[in-house]
Structure 1
Amino acid sequence: MCSQNGEGKRVSPRVQELLNHVARTPVRIEILSILTDGTLDLRDLSDCLESPRTTVRHNLQEMIEANLIEETIDNEFRSTPLGRVVLDALTAFSDHVETALELEPLFSCVPPSEFDFDIRSLSAVTVTEVTRAKPYAPHQRLTALIEDATNVSGYIPTNPLLFNRTDAPIFQAADSDISLYVPEDIADTLQAEHKTKLKNLVQRGPLDIGVLAGAKIDYGVARIDDRVVILGLDEHDKPHVLVETTDETVQKWASKRIDSLRTRASSIVETDNRGMSIAHGQD
């Protein structure tokens, strides 16, 4: 992949050589990890690794030549400062890749560039994905989370199906606060199917729906009580994956994203002295 200035993002030859050296066999990363915690002689290290001494000795020698490991005057081995730094970098890299693999269903719908934070903030997540057995699982999970919540604020690019159950807990709690932002086509669907329910819920106070005119945003993001949800859509604009997290960094990102959408929204229902009227606003 090339950067905007036409130069590729390349790893320097020296770094590439060192990475190849460490990753040549899995035992080398294990050696670094063990010797970062203290010094061991060849026999004890072989026992820890459950590996033949000849194999361990060969790898130690090459790692010494790369200045990753050093031998003490007592014929024990320990990690060098460089070895410790390399191990930290490899651990961070491993965590980064592991998170990316878990989030692959989301990244297939939403470019990682949408998230202006370290994706490792998404390492502790719950992922609900479409399957053959459960083709509506993400949508159903989203609806269930909203129904049982007290505070909801966010952009939902698909019909939330909340109004099929106006006896849901969120509509009954006196302290409920629901602020949803939807694209125009979803607003039209809600108006056509639930106009009376919308009027009643807005008059009672717990519900506010804003309409976003213009281009439709390709994914949903909402804060539901103490968690953030990100909804990825497939090529047909159907829910494909729902990611949930309580990470503080992601919560801050979601709040900023939602606030920016709020400034573009106009109320789906306006109240005046003459009653209720449905109105779309402009950007």
Structure 2
Amino acid sequence: MYNLKQIYKNEIKIKPISLLKSLFAIAIYILVQNIISLLSVFISVLINPNMSFGNNIILVMIVTVSISIAMVILAGHIFTEKGSTKINNNNFKPNKKDYLHICLIIIGYILIREAVLFEVLTQFEGPIPDETIDFIIENSSGIEFFVLSLMLFLQTLIEAPIFEELFFRGILLNGFLSKYKINHKKAIIYSAIIFAIAHLNIPQGINAFILGVILGYIYYYTKSMKLSILAHFINNLIIFIPVPSNIIFKIAYICLGLYCILKGLNYIKQLQEKNNKLAIDN
């Protein structure tokens, strides 16, 4: 956990990471997570054959989240350069204006996604088919479904923004930036590709790739895990923006979304220049 704290504060160097090495790492992560989840269900059935379906799903969720956190902690040990420190922008403390512009970028993306990508993404089957959701509801008691919903809520708004950002931006993106020092765009694209692959389905993968590029630029310009975590949190939180039903509203969404994104990106670029000047002065 100490390494993750240093990664969060941008106080430790990450070893150079190639695209091939990152693909291997994410493949191991997915494989280990699925094997251990299946084993946990198998063992629980052996120990208690009468365990309800709902409780089995709860067990799988607990194991999956635990493995995800453990793998990020392990990656923090593997990919950091032991005993290393690096010049960082610790003197930079985000203020309300910084938070506001990060929110603008994400809200802008969500508006454009709902106007342009919604109809495309809904053509593909999501990570959990509607039939599966109906089956879970029908075969879980009221309390089991409540616990499942609460766990999914906490996983979406707390575990995912924190640990996914530590891994995909704090470790992988920094590793790519170390590998491709003169080409930050390649590093950001590569980290977004891995972020998309990790979601294991087409609609979430497309969304994750674009979001990964945006989060990558936020982290690259600010070097602040706090801001990238906030951006990820806002994206996961805002899921009820109405989908525009006609061309006029779609154009309005796109124009407003582009304005928010460009205004936010321009602000964080200026923020990078200010932080670089602050680092030189210190």
Q: What TM-score range do you get, normalising by the shorter chain?
A: under 0.3
Higher strand proportion (structure 1 or 2): 1
Which entry has the higher C-alpha Rg, 1 or 2? Answer: 1
Q: Taking structure 2 as the reference length, what is the TM-score of the superposition?
A: 0.25
